Amino acid sequence: MHSASPKAPRFTLLRLILLGAAIALLFDIALYQIFYFGLQRQDQTWLLYAAARVLDGTQLYGPRLVETNPPLIIWLSTLPAWLAIHLHLQPLLVLQSLVTLLIVLSSVWSVRILRAAGVLRGRTATLAAFAALLVAQTWVRDVDFAEREHILLPLLLPYLFASFFQLSASLGLTERIALGLTAGLSACIKPQYALIPLGTELFLALWYRQPRRLWRPELLALILTGLAYIAAVRYITPLYFTQIVPILRDAYPTYRGNHPILAVMFNRPVYDLLFFATLLAWIVYRRSLRYPVAPIALLAATFFATLAFGIQRTGWPYQTVPRNALLLAAILWLVTELSAPAIARLQPDKHFRLLSTVAILFVVLPASLFALKRIRHGRNTGVPTLEQRTYASLPPGTTVYVLSTNFYNFSDVVHDHLLWGGRYVHLFMLPAIVLNENAEAGGPPAIAPLPPARVQQLATLLRSNVADDLHTFAPTVVFVEHCDPITHPCFALENLSFDTLAWFQRSPAFAAEWHNYRLQQTALDFDVYTRTSPSSH
């Protein structure tokens, strides 16, 4: 008589269920972000709006559309802008859907590379790695999803994973060139972040003691992509180099802040603690790791992402997205590798059907709740601001404008189907001009001192451009921001009590156009003016 085959121990089944739940949790974290379609994403909305104007024939960096970013992000934004127009969908919804697709494709490509390197073996490891990659690329603040720094991540990750494991013999030449092209494209979106692949390559050349690896086709393709982009900008949008860059060089340090690089790099204690704790964990457990190069290379990439963040000298949170994602990837790699022996004893691949069923259940149920809670088709909750209330009361197609150093509620302009009545999304030159004028009059030194002649040149340019916009676009409603250090500090002018309207009215051309406007409403932060005479155009 044959004895019955022993059943799997309960504790093994329980551990399998817990493993399935853990994998599902990773997916749910990613879905929590992907399902969020809130409207308060000002940068992304402006770039989509600018891209739509380019599609309509407006010249980028020309007299009717001025953008501070290099043109690639506008060129890329034309795809979601075009799709939104023809599919009659919200541009932000289309953008987020495309970025989500990009993240999924990047995760699939990265998993394929890891399998080619022999790092991933079995279906469970592949599923877990895919979930971890989704989390690393979606663990961002709601407002940062589909930001420029977020978009460059999925373009860069496959290249990094391929470089970690020296896969020259395992990947075809076409794929290696494609890796370099996508990584080069990511660097072109925000050139500061070219430090990530280039710095990581130098680190790996030292790690492997192989300087010749710097001549690999994928790295050469990355560099050539950057050079080709510079040539394309000079040919297609020469105004960026001839007109925008000189203004940015003089005015932008004041607008962004001129903080010390090291102070910006190490201004988040929690992040700093996690970085050094992860580095310490690698030092302690490196001999237990099967692939010690991966987590330390990810930490090296994290350092170069932090350096790229620091040299921008702003401290703006959305610029930390690459470093946060790379650090999270390093942590997840360490946790996965260190727990691999215990997971292997469960033999999860033999029970993959059970594991998958559990994971699907743990994904579907929370994800459904997340979807019901997080998908939003209206404004974000909260008390509407003066601008939001005014925008909502205006007929679609009304032209509005805001005289401000920041762009408040620009997403509501698009949401309420209004038009923007100016070439600038914000008056980025104004802080440099005003602070230098104050310094010349005996006030505190300016953050970035400029010669008086240059200050006067920038002031004349800004006043004449805004006056020309009032004449050309004839906005029906204009908001004028109050700048008071106590009641309403203006961005980059926080310590000043500044009369924005009086400053512009020192220009006869502006004053002549402003005669067409009358004060309709005042509040703590803005005055609202409406146009009393029709446009002459």
* Per-residue pLDDT, 355: 75
- Is the residue at 536 inside a domain? no
Give the pairing of strands 526-531 and 517-522: antiparallel
Over the Cα atoms of the chain, what is R_g? 27
pLDDT in tens, 428-453: 999 999 999 999 999 899 989 999 99
Q: Please tell me the number of Cα atoms within 13 Å of 406 on its side-chain side.
A: 16
**In this structure, is residue 5 part of a structural domain?**
no
Q: Are residues 401 and 368 in the same domain?
A: no
Copy the structure tokens of residue 482. 């109050």
Q: Indicate whether 19 belongs to any domain.
A: yes
Tell me the C-alpha distance between 495 and 492, whole Å: 8
- On whether residue 234 sits in a domain, the answer given is yes
Q: Sorting pLDDT into bands at 50, 70 and 90, what band is 378?
A: very low
Report the pLDDT value the prediction gives residue 508, as an integer from 0 to 100: 96
Residue 372 in this model has a pLDDT that exceeds 70? no
Are the C-beta atoms of 295 and 333 separated by less than 8 Å? yes
Across-strand partners of 528? 479, 521
Q: Nearest 5°: CA angle at 244, between 238 and 245?
A: 95
Domain that holds residue 195: 10-372
CA dihedral 216, 218, 222, 223 (to 10 degrees): 20
277 and 145 both lie in a single domain: yes
- Indicate whether 390 and 345 sit together in one domain: no
In angstroms, the CA 16 to CA 12 distance is 6
What is the percent of the chain with per-residue pLDDT over 70, rounded to a whole number? 91
Query: What pLDDT was estimated at residue 11?
Result: 54
* Residues 309 and 323: beta-carbon distance below 8 Å: yes
d(CA 485, CA 495): 5
List the alpha helices (DSSP H) in 59-147: 72-87, 91-116, 123-138
Indicate if 298 and 393 belong to the same structural domain.
no
pLDDT category of residue 481 using cuts at 50, 70 and 90? very high
Same domain, 49 and 196: yes
Amino acid identity, residue 364? V
pLDDT category at 421 given cuts 50, 70, 90 is very high
d(CA 235, CA 474): 33
Q: How many residues does the chain have?
A: 537
Q: Long-range contact list for 16-19, CB < 8 A, 24+ apart? A: 16/346, 16/348, 16/351, 16/354, 16/355, 16/358, 17/354, 17/358, 19/124, 19/343, 19/346, 19/348, 19/355
On whether both 171 and 316 belong to a single domain, the answer is: yes
Predicted confidence at residue 333, as pLDDT, reads 93
| pLDDT at residue 5 is higher than 50 | no
Tokens of 490: 């203006």
> Residue 153 CB: number of other CB atoms within 10 A?
26
Q: End of a domain among 372, 397, 415?
A: 372
Among the candidates 306, 338, 372, a domain finishes at 372
State residue 379's pLDDT score.
45
Chain centroid offset of residue 225 CA: 21
Task: Please tell me the least confidently modeled range out of 78-87, 116-125, 187-196, 468-477.
Answer: 116-125
Number of domains in the chain: 2
Give how far Cα 21 sits from Cα of 101, 241, 348, 425, 497, Å.
Answer: 24, 52, 13, 45, 55
Average pLDDT over the chain, rounded to an integer: 88
d(CA 320, CA 266): 11
In this structure, is residue 378 part of a structural domain? no
- Grouping H, G, I as helix, E, B as strand and the rest as coil, residue 419 is strand
Domain endpoint, select from 340, 372, 404: 372
- pLDDT score for 331: 96
Residue 537 belongs to some domain of the structure: no
* Helix, strand, coil distribution of the chain in percent, nearest 5: 65, 5, 30
Does residue 455 sit within a domain? Answer: yes
In terms of domains, do 406 and 310 share one? no
Same domain, yes or no: 342 and 397: no
Instruction: Give, for 479, the enclosing helix (H) or strand (E).
Output: strand 477-483
Is residue 142, in this structure, part of any structural domain at all? yes
Amino acid letter for position 467: A
**219 and 139, same structural domain?**
yes
Cα(10)–Cα(257) distance, rounded to whole angstroms?
A: 60
**Residue 39: how many CA atoms within 13 Å on its side-chain side?**
18
* Same domain flag for 279 and 221: yes
The DSSP letter of residue 244 is I
Same domain, 259 and 339: yes
For residue 7, pLDDT over 60 is answered with no
Task: Check whether residue 79 and residue 162 sit in a common domain.
Answer: yes
Both tokens assigned to 105: 């494709």
**Residue closest to 306 by CA, chosen among 334, 267, 277, 280:** 267
Global confidence as pTM: 0.89
What sign has the CA pseudo-torsion 406, 408, 412, 418?
A: negative
pLDDT per position as a tens digit, 45-77: 999 999 999 999 999 999 999 999 999 999 999
